[in-house]
Amino acid sequence: MNNVLGRALPRIDARDKATGRALYPGDLTRPDMLHLKVLFAGRPHARIRSIDTSQAERAPGVVAIFTAADVPVNEYGLNIPDQPVLCGPGSTKPGADVVRFVGDQVALVVAETEEQAAAARDLIRVEYEDLPVVADMDAALAPDAPVLHPGRESNLLCHYRIRKGDVKAGFAQADVILEGEYETPMQEHAYLQPEAGLAYIDETGRVTVEVAGQWTHEDREQIAHALGLPEDQVRVIYPAIGGAFGGREDISVQIILALAAWRLHQRGIHRPVKIVWSREESIIGHHKRHRMRIRHRWGATRDGRITAMEIECIGDAGAYAYTSTKVMGNVHLMSTGPYEVPNVRVDTYAVYTNNIPAGAFRGFGAPQALFAAETHMNKLAERLGIDPITIRLRNCFREGSIAAVQTPMPKGVSLPAVIERCAREAGWRQEGDRWIPPELPKSKAPAVLNSLDAAARPEVRRRGVGFACGYKNVGFSFGAPESCTAIIELRGGAEIEEVVLRHAAAEVGQGVHTALVQMVAEAVGVPPERVRLIVSDTAETENSGSVSASRMTFMAGNAIRGAAEIALRRWHEEERPAIGRYVYRPPRTTPYDPETGRALPNFAYGYVAQCVFVEVDEETGEVRLLEVISVNDVGRAVNPQQVEGQIEGGVVQAAGWTLLENFIMQEGQVLTPRLSTYLIPTIADVPLRVRSVIAEHPDPLGPWGVRGMGEMPFLTVAPAIIAAVHDAIGVWFDRFPLTPERVLRSMGRLHGAR
């Protein structure tokens, strides 16, 4: 062992990103480059009768215009290929002449300059026949609702069930029954760089796309499918990526870039093509976090033991499936919270509408499910007069717990220890069978309480504390194929002078490439300086799967250990260079039984508990985050500094969702298409202090005990904030964001509904 793990080594990409040497997709240039612009539908639901490009074709600088007739296989989709690449007549795909949301793409203009392409795009004339807009989930499920996709009987995309125990008997055993309905909003990913990329035909004749994404091989597969090409005729390369958070899992510009370069090549025009979306194009053009409505009905005994849960979850999938079937599968699992309950009934639905499609976003459905479950748990604690720590410890998952899907939790359940650690870190103390909350404002826990703005009037400020906990799968779920390949090459003579790792993991800002270097150095036994990466290029690497589901460090680490073992064995057998290739495949998972929900949903989990201190200004309605304590079990911290960065970033992003980010759609139109109307946190909005507490309870399957990390700090910030605000002003919020207007209305300071 080289003792590289657990060290806060500097990020290997830090210098280039700080100095501007790192090239993001929008920075890429090639000689004789052309520029691409997209004509978006701008309408939520309409049939395209005709497209007239004649005037645009005569515009200065225009080289080509492409429509649906130019797409060989006019469909794509990560799980269900239900979306046209380009909408319009001339396609063999049924329904491709219909646009289903404002961001559907209708035509592509390639010109000498970006300005010329934009001007020509505006000259394209499209004749639309407007169709009824289905913008509401309930309206979409109505028997007389227009069916948005051909060949389907209704707008119901999927329905999952859980049937565990006897729910009727469970409620009969209860001393208290508590009901509630919760709503969560959409959320824009708002990553640093909007979608951009460059496409060309490389020296071997492959259609090559340099773009930002989260899974090079999946991008390649979807590009090849739409172009009707073998996968080995398509190459995908990721340069530096300006954030993702799940927002780059689905296709945005990948296929249209490849289509333009390929069709131009067929016409004898051998020139690269570049596209850069504006922020407004990005906001309407890529998917969002699912808007959801979740209803809870729980039964519990007087001592706080939950006897029954009855839950309904409905998610707005938007116009196309994207990853909704998988996200809602996660919501279904997480809807009961991290608790073992003997009697459970859950029904979960995803519904097509004419809104912007919903898809992957950090947490992948767990934040919505846990907001509802944890807020309901806090309400139950208040109703029973039990503190929020004790009631959780009486119900939470432990080693050997049977989940609602009627199978045991994977080994390594650390939630009780994580809950207790967070409570103590936040200033709670245990007295007998109960936990006493920290005193406000004199508690030592919120160490920054006295650093507040001295000009604020203390008599109108109310302080509160809130607690929540949760869990999240590591890796793909419900029977999805799961594997990760690493190739390690050892070079040198008498000693190993260089180690080359070929791996497809995308570096989206989370620091995974630095973690790869540390894990390779640890596995081979060399200093990190001797490790060289060849990454994120389908021509050089094999499939690693997506950087999503908090999976990459876990999966890549296991693949690296396997490849290193093979390479070292060959090295000792005098092979030069010594090459080891290893495909890691974790234990299998299974889908839900369609009637009972029984499943082996996941092979590993991460666990988190969070405590939030807030201050509410009763005059302005402003909620100020004083301190957030986030305890995250990472199994083993490969790089503690990067773990802290993930925690801080997750907390701030979740706080933005809870307090600021008010994404508004009305009748399928986006009313907040810019960052001037859709507000994300600035330095003035972040917590005064985030205390990142790294817990290390090794996962039995994880490499060196590693668990996943990326999503955990986001999961329960919202319910913890809601609980803290309730503690401060005595009002429960069942929906958010907690804008000042909403807070004031809740206190009766403004007229209108909460």
Question: Tell me, what amino acid is at 194?
Answer: P
Query: What DSSP assignment string belongs to 162-186?
Result: EEES-HHHHHHT-SEEEEEEEEE--
pLDDT of 450 higher than 50: no
Q: Is the pLDDT of residue 447 over 90?
A: no
Q: How far apart are the first and last CA of the chain?
A: 58
Contacts (Cβ under 8 Å, ≥6 apart) of 432: none
Q: Is the dihedral of CA 719, 720, 725, 728 positive or negative?
A: positive
Q: For the chain, what percent of residues have pLDDT higher than 70?
A: 97
Neighbouring-strand partners of residue 289: 187
Which are the contacts of 227, defined by CB distance < 8 A and separation ≥ 6? 72, 73, 207, 234, 255, 258, 259, 262
pLDDT at 576: 95
Which of these, 450, 441, 448, 392, lies nearest to 421 by C-alpha position?
392
Residue-wise pLDDT tens digits, 331-356: 999 999 999 999 999 999 999 999 99
The residue type at 498: E
pLDDT of residue 459: 73
Measure the CA–CA gap between 636 and 44, rounded to whole angstroms.
Answer: 47
DSSP state of 24: P
Which two structure tokens, joined as six digits, stand for 262? 């390929």
535-585 tens-digit pLDDT:
999 999 999 999 999 999 999 999 999 999 999 999 999 999 999 999 999
Residue with the two structure tokens 């995250």: 632
Q: What is the pLDDT of residues 198-240, one digit of tens each?
A: 999 999 999 999 999 999 999 999 999 999 999 999 999 999 9
How far apart, in whole angstroms, are the C-alpha atoms of residue 148 and residue 133?
A: 9
The structure's pTM equals 0.96
- Domains annotated for the chain, with CATH where assigned, are 14-21+477-584 (3.30.365.10), 25-132+204-277 (3.90.1170.50), 292-476+596-746 (3.30.365.10)
| Structure tokens given for 313 | 């979850």
Residue 273 and residue 200 in contact, taking contact as beta carbons nearer than 8 Å: yes
CB 186 within 8 A of CB 665: yes
Q: How far is Cα of residue 137 from the mean position of the Cα atoms in its chain?
A: 22
Residue 1 has pLDDT above 60, yes or no: no
What value does the mean pLDDT of the chain take? 96
pLDDT band at 708 (very low <50, low <70, confident <90, very high): very high
Q: pLDDT tens, 517-532?
A: 999 999 999 999 999 9
- 37's CB contacts (< 8 A; 6+ apart) are 108, 109, 111, 114, 117, 118, 120, 121, 275
Instruction: Classify residue 409 by burial, with Cβ atoms within 10 Å: 0-12, 13-18, 19+.
Output: buried
As a whole-number percent, the residues of the chain with pLDDT over 90 amount to 95
Residue-wise over 243-258: b if at least 16 C-beta within 10 A, else e? bbbbbbbbbbbbbbbb
Q: Supply the pLDDT for residue 751.
A: 56
Show the CA angle centred on residue 370, arms to residues 364 and 373, nearest 5°: 145
Residues 175-191: pLDDT tens digits?
999 999 999 999 999 99
Query: Cα–chain-centroid distance for residue 476?
Result: 13
Q: What is the pLDDT of residue 442?
A: 45
pLDDT, tens only, 131-166: 999 999 999 999 999 999 999 999 999 999 999 999
Residues in the chain: 754
pLDDT, one tens digit per residue, over 711-749 is 999 999 999 999 999 999 999 999 999 999 999 999 987
> DSSP letters of 637-684?
-SSHHHHHHHHHHHHHHHHHHHHT----EETTEES--STTTS----TT
∠ CA 593-598-600, nearest 5°, is 105
Give the confidence band of 699 by pLDDT, cuts at 50, 70, 90.
very high
Measure the CA angle with vertex 29, ends 24 and 30; round to 5°: 145
Answer whether residue 312 shows pLDDT above 90: yes
How many other C-beta atoms can be found within 10 angstroms of the C-beta atom of residue 610?
33
- Which residues sit opposite 462 in a β-bridge? 616
pLDDT-based confidence at residue 57 (cuts at 50, 70, 90): very high
Over the stretch 358-396, which tens digit does the pLDDT of each residue have? Answer: 999 999 999 999 999 999 999 999 999 999 999 999 999
User: Confidence band (pLDDT; 50, 70, 90) for 750?
Assistant: low
Q: How many CB atoms lie within 10 A of CB 181?
A: 13
